[in-house]
């Protein structure tokens, strides 16, 4: 924990992005999480992603539930509106926010307790509705704030810090997200910022429900021998299927790689991803194969990371609902209130 | 002696649900209305799709009494399961119409009523071959028979059938034919008209016939609601469904065919209220509709909305509790669970509409109140108002009314604002200014939390900051007292020590009860409470009377508790009059209960000399 107030001075020649913002413009308050917490690396990756994409910070709404992970929105994008809602219910609040204004970028940050236990239902339903969002689960397999109880993503056989062995099956959020229709699914590791940052960028550019499961070791309660969510364990068992080299805005890109090793993925909104294949077998567009691949590797104790699935075509919730292009919160009396003449007609139909 | 009455009686249809009786019964009620005679129909139905008993009660009241009356003057007995109880419930001198196809033992009837047998099954079996037709048209056939017995203008019935089957010639002809089958049989074989009769009147006027849920939903359209998130629960489901229909009619952009609304059927009530809170936080006018069990599930979120000061509108169509209770029976039973919803110190604004017209008015104004007060607003309907057609004054809208978005800062205002603090009480009314996400590049953003923050929304767990915020929330609640609809008072013709307080769907029964009480020589002043927090006039009204009856449709006197708690009134002076069996409260019940207590209160005072 730290109580330092972030100094306001900065290097005069900090690099600026296309809209003239420096890295510092994307930061938030100083983190109060434990030193070395994986979550802080995820915050850093979010900051990096938004900076690189030149997103005006105030066009992002960041929402979270309850828990260590849900505290993190305070630590990035200080100029964005944030909402620390109730435990496990971030998805519904985010869904509502998105309904009100389809023009903002919605970043939902949650944890494994938040999304796999108390909020498992909301996690699933927000995804199946195709809410246009980036949904990040900072997954450490443990309840940190309440001092080390297992969460629902803890692997069977995993040992807690107090020596208790978990006997319950683990919920694989990536598997669920794929099954219920997320149109963008990734998994990463907070210890691998080079992998995580482009994944977040690609997810932001994606239109539809984008889900990223980030294994993020809890240094206080789940980083010991016997844990399957420790830094060492994840490093040893990490099976990276591909690597996102870069993510562009909407400009065309030149590819300069050996044929077959890189795939260029056009996203629905016109952005482009350059995907370096590390596992030649892995097809990022095949949802069913992805599910099978994940199950297969999981059974062998491997943690598959990378961009796991991206749908060729995706429509978001507003598409399903056929809502007007203007954000609903921008419609005024004129557009919304039918007036007395229409009411008189209605009255007449009820006599 | 058979009952004799013109335009003033209660007819009850006992049916089996799923048998197609509803539309026939409604045809009956509407035809009376078209004759200019006020009717108040009520569905008494089970939580079931097919096979259980259901009743449709039509009170015909030339004098315009729309509350339930109690008792049955004319029974249409179509359900053998409930025959005995139904027949026992007929008023002495009343009438019974039954299907006389199969002979019934004499013991199944009563001597003091007029029994009218119509061989409904035989008529239908003769006419139709298909089983479903035999079943469905039986209902229209008895309506036809009633038209002869009660002297209903059959032309009005034909017109109504025509409106119902507009463009469906075959169905129109078939229904009209069935109607006349019954009518002609009755004209030929029965004494007609009977002692209960209908005479054309002009007592309906410009009033409309509408369900409260539909009116409330239309209120939401007029109030500018764009987001509705809900989970199906009786008796509220027809509200969001009506909102959907109203929006499809009134809110589709004619040029692009795109919707100026978003309706989500959520996975549960927690999610519904979560979406409403998210949407409202982001500046859309949003609501959910639910009933008691849903309110229970929403408790945590409602507290968040109270503390984080988010405008949300909740239509609570109340029913008897609990979840596995009597979902299709009416009560006013969520008063306390809504007024103090959630953990921590919370108080919420409640509105109590009395009928569909007020459900429309409050349904619309709830959104202005929510934005103005930045807090959840509960519109407290109940099954009796929500799911029954009610004769109601026409809905009215003032085109000069503009939405009150409350203290919502624009980018331009943020530019010039000297100081923005999300929880700063600038105007002394307890209401702070708020901003929406995305408003301004570098001004006005804040992090929304329940509490644990200061006036500038900065994180703190300081006790003083918490207490400061709680005090401001109380000031805000005080401000609300003068913004919510005021109580309406009607005094007796002469001065009296007694008053009565009532609210919501009790209204028509109460109005009628006053007349009954006056006839018994009791004068009572009355006050209809229309909102919580209570206006100061509630305390004065109680102060002006020795005893005040509080009439409610729940067991525990929830409104009374709320008054005692919030107005610091001596509970002894508030006499509870409680009706809570799941049926709508009646004038007879209210008048009886109040009169009994008044009689008991009339104690001859001890003579002074004997005391001293």
What is the tens place of the pLDDT at every residue in B550-584? 999 999 999 999 999 999 999 999 999 999 999 99
Which of B411, B447, B449, B459 would you mutate first to test chain A, the one with the most A CBs within 10 A? B447
Whether residues B438 and A58 touch (CB distance < 8 A) is answered with yes
What is the tens place of the pLDDT at every residue in B95-145? Answer: 999 999 999 999 999 999 999 999 999 999 999 999 999 999 999 999 999
Contact across the interface for B281 and A333, Cβ inside 8 Å:
no
- Residue-level pLDDT at B20: 86
H or E element at residue B374 = none
Check CB contact of A157 with chain B, cutoff 8 Å. no
Do B124 and B62 have their domain in common?
yes
Angle value at C-alpha B122, between B120 and B123, nearest 5 degrees: 65
B206 part of contact set with chain A, CB < 8 Å? yes
B334-347, pLDDT tens digit by residue?
Answer: 999 999 999 999 99
Q: Which of A103, A122, A333 sits opposite B402 (nearest CB)?
A: A333
Contacts of B243 in chain A (CB under 8 A): none
pLDDT greater at residue A336 or residue A265: A336
Whether B581 and chain A come into contact, CB under 8 Å, resolves to no
Which two three-digit tokens encode residue B557? 């006197």
Nearest-CA distance A184 → chain B (Å): 22
Q: Of the candidates B394, B390, B505, which has an alpha carbon nearest to the alpha carbon of residue B30?
A: B390
Structural domains in chain B (count): 4
pLDDT band, residue B607 (cuts 50/70/90): low
State the pLDDT at residue B609: 52
Asked whether residue A255 carries a pLDDT value surpassing 60, the answer given is no
Q: If you average pLDDT over residues B446-454, what whole number do you get?
A: 93
Nearest CB neighbour to B224, from listed A57, A318, A333: A333
Query: Which of B15-19, B132-136, B370-374 tops mean pLDDT?
Result: B370-374
Residue B397 falls within a domain, yes or no?
no
Looking at residue A1, its pLDDT comes to: 43
Do the Cβ atoms of A99 and B284 come within 8 Å? yes
- pLDDT tens digits along B416-441: 988 999 999 999 999 999 999 999 99
Contact A262, A277 (CB under 8 A): yes
Residue found by looking up tokens 């239109």 in the block? A207
Residue B260 lies in a domain: yes
Residue B319, min C-alpha distance to chain A (Å)? 26
Residue A280 in contact with partner chain B when CB distance is under 8 A: no
Average pLDDT for A78-93: 96
Of the residues A54, A67, A100, A318, the best mutation for testing chain B's interface (the one with the most B CB atoms within 10 Å of its CB) is A100
Report if residue B398 sits inside a domain: no
For residues A62 and A72, the answer to whether their CB atoms sit within 8 Å is: no
Stretch A94-104: mean pLDDT: 98
**Do residues B241 and B319 share a domain?**
yes
| Mean per-residue pLDDT of chain B | 95
Identify from A90, A92, A320, A345 which residue to disrupt to test chain B contact, counting B C-beta atoms within 10 A and taking the largest count.
Answer: A92
Best interface-test mutation with A: which of B242, B247, B262 has the largest number of A CBs within 10 A? B262
> Confidence band (pLDDT; 50, 70, 90) for A249?
low
| In the predicted structure, residue A4 carries a pLDDT above the cut 70 | no
For B410, name the nearest residue in chain A, comparing CA atoms only: A330
**Under an 8 A CB cutoff, do A98 and B253 touch?**
no
> Which of B481, B496, B519 represents a domain boundary (last residue)?
B481
B608 in a structural domain: no
Nearest to B281 among A58, A83, A333 (CB): A83
The reply to whether A167 touches chain B by the CB within 8 Å rule is no
pLDDT value of position A272: 76
Per-residue confidence at B48, pLDDT binned at 50, 70, 90? confident
Residues of chain A with Cβ-Cβ distance to B207 below 8 Å are: 351
CA dist., res. B39 & res. A347, Å (int): 17
Same domain, residue pair B276 and B369 = yes
Domains and CATH numbers, chain A: 23-334 (3.40.50.970)
Q: Which of B154, B235, B258 is nearest to B198 (CA)?
A: B154
- Please indicate if any CB of chain A lies within 8 Å of the CB of B404: no
Across A173-187, B9-23, B536-550, least confident range: B9-23
Q: What is the mean pLDDT of residues B213-234?
A: 98
Tell me: do B44 and B134 sit in the same domain: yes
DSSP state of B136: H
DSSP B606: P
Residue A335 at interface with chain B, using a CB cutoff of 8 Å: yes
Of A82, A122, A335, the CB nearest to B448: A82
Residue A78: its chain B contacts at CB < 8 A?
445
What are the tens digits of pLDDT across the range B234-280?
Answer: 999 999 999 999 999 999 999 999 999 999 999 999 999 999 999 99
**Do residue A324 and residue B446 have CB atoms under 8 angstroms apart?**
no
Residues B345 and B448 in one domain: no
Please indicate whether, in this complex, the C-beta atoms of A86 and B436 are within 8 angstroms of each other: no
Tokens of B477: 């609640």
Chain B residues touching residue A98 (CB < 8 angstroms): 278
B146 with B78, same domain: the answer is: yes
Inside any domain, residue B606: no
From A347's Cα to the closest Cα of chain B, the distance in A is 6
CB contact under 8 A, B396 and A343: yes
A95: nearest CB among B278, B403, B437: B278
Looking at the fold, whether B342 and B236 belong to one and the same domain comes out as: yes
Within 8 A by CB and 6+ apart from B239, the residues are B213, B214, B216, B217, B230, B289, B315, B317, B381, B386
For residue range A7-65, list pLDDT tens digits in order. 777 788 889 999 999 999 999 999 999 999 999 999 999 999 999 999 999 999 999 99
Does B209 contact A351 at a Cβ distance shorter than 8 Å? yes
The pLDDT of residue B572 is 95
State whether residue B203 sits within 8 Å of chain A by CB: no
Q: Mark whether B445 and B556 lie in a shared domain.
A: no
Task: Tell me how crowded residue A13 is: count the other CB atoms within 10 A of its CB.
Answer: 7
Residue B399 lies in a domain: no
Give pLDDT, residue A27. Answer: 95
A-contacting residues in B 237-266 (Cβ below 8 Å): 250-251, 253, 256-264, 266
Q: Looking at the predicted structure, is the pLDDT value of residue B55 above 70?
A: yes
**What count of Cα atoms within 13 Å lies in the side-chain half-sphere of residue A161?**
16
Say if A19 is an interface residue toward chain B (CB within 8 Å). Answer: no
Give me the DSSP letters along A272-290. Answer: EEEEEESSTT--TT-HHHH
Q: What is the SS3 assignment for B592?
A: helix
Looking at the structure, do residues B176 and B86 belong to the same domain, yes or no? yes
Residues 454-473 of B with CB under 8 A from A: 459
Under DSSP, the state recorded for B562 is H
| CA-based nearest distance B412→chain A, Å | 15
Q: Does one domain contain both B65 and B193? A: yes
Tokens 């979010």: give the residue: A46
Q: Confirm whether B402 is domain-assigned.
A: no
Average pLDDT over residues A88-106: 98
b/e map A72-89, b = 16+ CB within 10 Å: bbbbbbbbbbbbbbbbbb
Domain of B361, in residue numbers:
209-392
Alpha-carbon distance of B28 to B15, in angstroms, equals 14
Predicted local distance difference test score (pLDDT) of residue A262: 75
- Give the CATH number of the domain where residue B366 resides: 3.40.50.970
Selecting from B209, B267, B276 the residue whose C-beta is nearest the C-beta of A121 gives B267
B576 and B494 housed in the same domain: yes
Whether residue B95 lies inside any domain: the answer is: yes
| Neighboring chain A residues of B395 at a CB cutoff of 8 Å | 343, 346-347
When CB atoms are compared, the residue of A82, A121, A340 closest to B447 is A82
A64 touches chain B (CB under 8 A): no
Q: What is the pLDDT of residue B611?
A: 46
Sign of CA dihedral A26, A31, A35, A38: negative
Q: In terms of CA atoms, which chain A residue is nearest residue B451?
A: A84
Has residue B604 got a pLDDT over 70? no
pLDDT confidence of residue A276:
79
| pLDDT at site A259 | 54
Model pLDDT for residues B178-190, shown as the tens digit of each residue: 999 999 999 999 9
Asked if residue B9 has pLDDT above 80, the reply is yes
Contact check, Cβ <8 Å, B250/A74: no
- Percent of chain A scoring above 90 in pLDDT: 80
Q: Among residues of chain B, what percentage have pLDDT more than 70?
A: 98
A319: nearest CA in chain B?
A: B258
Residues 6+ apart with CB under 8 A from B101: B119, B120, B121, B122
Angle of helix B21-34 versus helix B154-164 axis, rounded to 10: 130
A residues 113..152 contacting B (CB < 8 A):
121-122, 124-125, 129
Q: What residues of B are in contact with residue A122 (Cβ under 8 Å)?
A: 267, 270-271, 274
Judge if B509 and B447 occupy the same domain.
Answer: no
CB pair distance less than 8 Å for B262 and A342 = no
Q: What is the CATH number of the domain that holds B35?
A: 3.40.920.10
> Of B17-21, B67-71, B100-104, where does mean pLDDT reach its minimum?
B17-21
Q: What is the ipTM of this complex?
A: 0.95
A104 touching chain B per CB within 8 A:
yes
Task: Out of B169, B197, B225, pick the residue that ends a domain.
Answer: B197
Among A122-126, A144-148, A325-329, B300-304, name the one with the lowest average pLDDT.
A144-148
Mean pLDDT value across chain A: 91
Q: What residues are paired with B54 via a beta bridge?
A: B15
Least confident of A298-307, B34-43, B279-288, B308-317: A298-307
**Contact partners, residue B248, CB within 8 Å, separation at least 6:** none
Domain termination residue (choose one: B197, B229, B256)? B197
Q: What is the pLDDT of residue B150?
A: 98
DSSP string, B248-286: HHHSB-TTT--BS-EEEE-SSHHHHHHHHHHHHHTT--E
Q: How confident is the model at residue B612 (pLDDT cuts 50, 70, 90)?
A: very low
Per-residue confidence band for A279, with pLDDT thresholds at 50, 70 and 90: confident
CA B378 to chain centre: 13
Contact across the interface for B284 and A63, Cβ inside 8 Å: no
Nearest CA in chain B to A102: B282
- Give whole-number Cα distances, A197 to A106, A109, A144, A205, A310, in Å: 17, 15, 24, 13, 17
């Amino acid at each position: 924990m730290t109580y330092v107030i972030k100094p306001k001075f900065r290097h005069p020649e900090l690099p600026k992005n296309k809209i003239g913002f420096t890295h510092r413009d994307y930061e938030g308050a100083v983190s109060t999480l434990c030193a070395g917490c994986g979550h802080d690396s995820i915050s850093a990756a979010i900051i990096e992603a938004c900076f690189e994409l030149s997103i005006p910070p105030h066009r992002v709404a960041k929402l979270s539930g309850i828990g260590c992970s849900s505290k993190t929105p305070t630590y990035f994008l200080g100029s964005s509106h944030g909402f620390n809602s109730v435990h496990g219910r971030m998805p519904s609040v985010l869904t509502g926010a998105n309904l009100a204004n389809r023009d903002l970028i919605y970043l939902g940050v949650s944890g494994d307790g938040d999304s796999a236990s108390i909020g498992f239902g909301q996690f699933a339903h927000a995804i199946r509705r195709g809410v246009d969002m980036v949904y990040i689960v900072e997954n450490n397999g443990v309840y940190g704030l309440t001092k080390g109880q297992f969460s629902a993503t803890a692997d069977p056989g995993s040992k807690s810090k107090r020596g208790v062995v978990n006997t319950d099956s683990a919920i694989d959020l990536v598997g669920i997200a794929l099954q219920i229709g997320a149109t963008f699914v990734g998994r990463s590791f907070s210890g691998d910022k080079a992998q995580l940052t482009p994944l977040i960028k690609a997810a932001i550019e994606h239109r539809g429900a984008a889900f990223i499961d980030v294994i993020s070791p809890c240094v206080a309660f789940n980083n010991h021998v016997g844990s399957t969510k420790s830094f060492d364990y994840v490093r040893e068992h990490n099976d990276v299927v591909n690597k996102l080299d870069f993510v562009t805005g909407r400009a065309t890109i030149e590819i300069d790689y050996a044929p077959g090793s890189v795939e260029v993925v056009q996203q629905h909104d016109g952005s482009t991803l350059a995907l370096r294949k590390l596992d030649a077998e892995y097809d990022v567009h095949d949802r069913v194969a992805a599910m099978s691949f994940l199950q297969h590797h999981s059974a062998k104790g491997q943690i598959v990371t990378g961009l796991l699935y991206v749908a060729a075509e995706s429509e978001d919730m507003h598409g399903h609902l056929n809502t007007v292009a203007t954000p609903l919160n921008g419609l005024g009396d004129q557009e919304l209130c039918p007036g007395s003449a229409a009411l008189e007609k209605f009255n007449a139909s009820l006599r | 002696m058979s009952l004799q009455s013109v335009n003033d009686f209660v007819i009850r249809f006992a049916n089996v649900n799923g048998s197609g009786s509803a539309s026939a019964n409604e045809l009956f009620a509407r035809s009376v209305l078209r004759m200019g005679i006020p009717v108040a129909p009520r569905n008494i139905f089970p939580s079931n799709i097919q096979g259980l008993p259901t009743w449709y009660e039509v009170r015909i009241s030339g004098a315009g009494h729309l509350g339930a009356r109690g008792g049955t003057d004319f029974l249409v007995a179509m359900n053998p399961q409930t025959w005995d109880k139904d027949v026992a419930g007929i008023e002495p001198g009343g009438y019974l119409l039954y299907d006389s196809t199969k002979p019934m033992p004499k013991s199944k009837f009563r001597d003091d009523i007029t029994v009218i047998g119509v061989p409904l099954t035989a008529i239908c079996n003769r006419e139709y071959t298909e089983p479903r037709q035999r079943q469905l048209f039986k209902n229209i056939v008895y309506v036809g028979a009633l038209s002869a017995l009660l002297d209903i203008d059959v032309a009005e019935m034909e017109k109504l059938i025509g409106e119902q089957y507009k463009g469906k010639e075959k169905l129109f002809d078939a229904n009209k034919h069935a109607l006349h089958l019954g009518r002609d049989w009755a004209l030929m074989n029965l004494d007609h008209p009977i002692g209960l009769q209908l005479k054309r009147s002009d007592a309906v006027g410009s009033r409309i016939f509408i369900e409260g849920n539909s009116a409330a939903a239309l209120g939401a359209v007029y109030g500018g609601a764009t987001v509705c998130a809900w989970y199906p629960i009786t008796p509220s489901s027809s509200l969001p469904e009506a909102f959907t229909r109203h929006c499809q009619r009134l809110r589709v952009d004619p040029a692009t065919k795109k919707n100026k609304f978003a309706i989500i059927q959520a996975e549960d009530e927690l999610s519904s209220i979560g979406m409403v809170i998210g949407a409202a936080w982001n500046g859309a006018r949003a609501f959910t509709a639910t009933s008691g069990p849903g309110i229970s599930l929403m408790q945590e979120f409602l507290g968040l909305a109270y503390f984080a000061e988010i405008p949300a509108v909740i239509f609570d169509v109340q029913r008897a509790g609990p979840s596995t209770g009597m979902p299709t029976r009416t009560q006013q039973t969520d008063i306390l669970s809504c007024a103090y919803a959630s953990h921590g110190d919370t108080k919420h604004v409640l509105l109590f509409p009395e009928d569909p017209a007020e459900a429309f008015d409050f349904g619309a104004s709830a959104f202005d109140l929510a934005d103005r007060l930045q807090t959840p607003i509960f519109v407290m309907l109940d099954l009796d108002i929500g799911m029954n057609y009610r004769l109601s004054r026409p809905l009215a809208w003032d085109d000069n009314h503009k939405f009150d978005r409350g203290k919502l800062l624009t980018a331009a205002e943020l530019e010039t604002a000297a100081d923005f603090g999300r929880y700063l009480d600038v105007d002394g009314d307890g209401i702070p200014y708020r901003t929406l996400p995305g408003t301004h590049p570098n001004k006005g953003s804040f992090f929304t939390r329940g509490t644990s923050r200061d006036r500038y929304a900065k994180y703190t767990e300081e006790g003083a900051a918490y207490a400061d915020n709680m005090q401001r929330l109380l000031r805000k609640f005080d401000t609300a007292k003068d913004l919510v609809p005021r109580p309406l008072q009607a005094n007796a013709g002469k001065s009296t020590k007694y008053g009565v307080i009532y609210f919501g769907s009790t209204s028509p029964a109460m109005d009628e009860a006053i007349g009954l009480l006056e006839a018994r020589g009791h004068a009572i002043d009355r006050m209809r409470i229309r909102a919580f927090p209570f206006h100061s006039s509630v305390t004065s009204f109680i102060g002006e009377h020795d005893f005040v009856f509080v009439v409610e449709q729940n067991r525990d006197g929830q409104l009374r508790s709320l008054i005692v708690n919030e107005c610091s009134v001596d509970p002894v002076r508030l006499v509870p009059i409680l009706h809570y069996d799941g049926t709508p409260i009646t004038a007879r019940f209210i008048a009886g209960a109040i009169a009994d207590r008044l009689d008991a209160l009339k104690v001859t005072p001890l003579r002074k000399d004997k005391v001293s």
